[in-house]
Amino acid sequence: MRSFQSIGIKSVLRITEDAAELTLDIPEELHEAFRFQAGQYLTFKTFLNGEEVRRSYSLCSAPYENAWKVGIKRVKDGVFSNFAIDQLTPGDVLEVMPPMGNFKVIPQKDLARHFVLFAAGSGITPILSIAKTVLKEEPLSTVTLFFGNKGFSSIMFLEEIEALKNQNLTRLRVIHVLSRESQGIPLQKGRIDAEKLAQLHAAFLKDLTVDDVYVCGPEAMILAVKSFFEDKGLNKSSIHFELFHSGIAKASMQKEKHLEGITCSVQLILDDDSIDFEMTQDDDNLLDAAQRAGADVPFACKGGVCCTCKAKIIEGSASMRVNYALEPEEVEKGYVLTCQAVPTSSKITVSFDE
Q: How far apart are CA 242 and CA 130, in angstroms?
A: 12
CATH of 5-99, one of 3.40.1010.10, 2.40.30.10, 3.40.50.300, 2.30.42.10: 2.40.30.10
279, 287 Cβ separation under 8 angstroms: no
Listed residue (328, 308, 303, 326) closest to 244, CA to CA: 303
- The angle, 0 to 180 degrees and rounded to 10, between the axes of the packed helices 158-167 and 124-137 is 20
Report the SS3 class of residue 28: helix
Q: How far apart are CA 276 and CA 171, in angstroms?
A: 55
Its CATH architecture, for the domain 114-244, is 3-Layer(aba) Sandwich (3.40)
Q: Report CA torsion sign: 48, 54, 60, 61.
A: positive
pLDDT of residue 247: 55
Q: How far apart are CA 330 and CA 243, in angstroms?
A: 18
Q: Say if residue 75's pLDDT is above 70.
A: yes
pLDDT of residue 260: 57
When pLDDT is averaged across residues 103-124 and rounded to a whole number, the result is 97
**pLDDT, tens digit, for every residue of 139-188?**
999 999 999 999 999 999 999 999 999 999 999 999 999 999 889 899 99
Listed residue (106, 325, 131, 116) closest to 228, CA to CA: 116
| H or E element, residue 196 | helix 194-200
pLDDT of residue 2: 75
Q: In what order do the strands lie in the sheet with 142-149?
A: 172-178, 142-149, 114-120, 212-217, 239-243
Report the SS3 class of residue 69: strand
Q: How many CA atoms lie within 13 A of 186 on its CB side?
A: 2
At 56, the pLDDT band (50, 70, 90 cuts) reads very high
Q: What is the percentage of the chain residues whose pLDDT exceeds 90?
A: 83
Bridge-partner residues for 11, per DSSP?
23
Q: Say if residue 257's pLDDT is above 50.
A: no
- Please tell me the pTM assigned to this model: 0.88
- Residue 169 DSSP symbol: T
What is the dotted CATH code of the domain comprising 256-351? Answer: 3.10.20.30
Residue extents of the structural domains in the chain: 5-99, 114-244, 256-351
pLDDT of residue 258: 46
Q: Say if residue 6's pLDDT is above 90.
A: yes
Bridge-partner residues for 182, per DSSP?
none
Distance, CA of 340 to chain centre: 17
pLDDT of residue 301: 87
- Residue 260 DSSP symbol: S
When pLDDT is averaged across residues 81-108 and rounded to a whole number, the result is 97
114-244 and 256-351: same fold? no
Q: Say if residue 255's pLDDT is above 70.
A: no
| CA end-to-end span of the chain | 11
Q: Say if residue 23's pLDDT is above 70.
A: yes
pLDDT of residue 263: 83
At 249, the pLDDT band (50, 70, 90 cuts) reads very low
Q: Say if residue 311's pLDDT is above 80.
A: yes
**pLDDT, tens digit, for every residue of 24-46?**
999 999 999 999 999 999 999 99
When pLDDT is averaged across residues 16-30 and rounded to a whole number, the result is 97
Beta-carbon contacts of 303 under 8 Å, excluding residues fewer than 6 positions away, are 245, 246, 249, 250, 253, 322, 339
Q: Say if residue 49's pLDDT is above 70.
A: yes
pLDDT of residue 48: 94
When pLDDT is averaged across residues 95-114 and rounded to a whole number, the result is 97
Cα 162-44-267 angle, rounded to 5 deg: 135
- Tell me the backbone φ, ψ of residue 265, rounded to 5 degrees: -90, 125
Q: How far apart are CA 202 and CA 197, in angstroms?
A: 8
Q: Say if residue 246's pLDDT is above 80.
A: no
pLDDT of residue 138: 98
- Parallel, antiparallel, or unpaired for β 347-351 and 310-315? antiparallel
- Parallel, antiparallel, or unpaired for β 335-337 and 93-100? unpaired
Strands (E), 41-163: 41-48, 51-58, 68-73, 93-100, 114-120, 142-149
C-alpha dist (Å) from residue 290 to 8, 263, 305: 30, 14, 19
Q: How far apart are CA 110 and CA 68, in angstroms?
A: 27
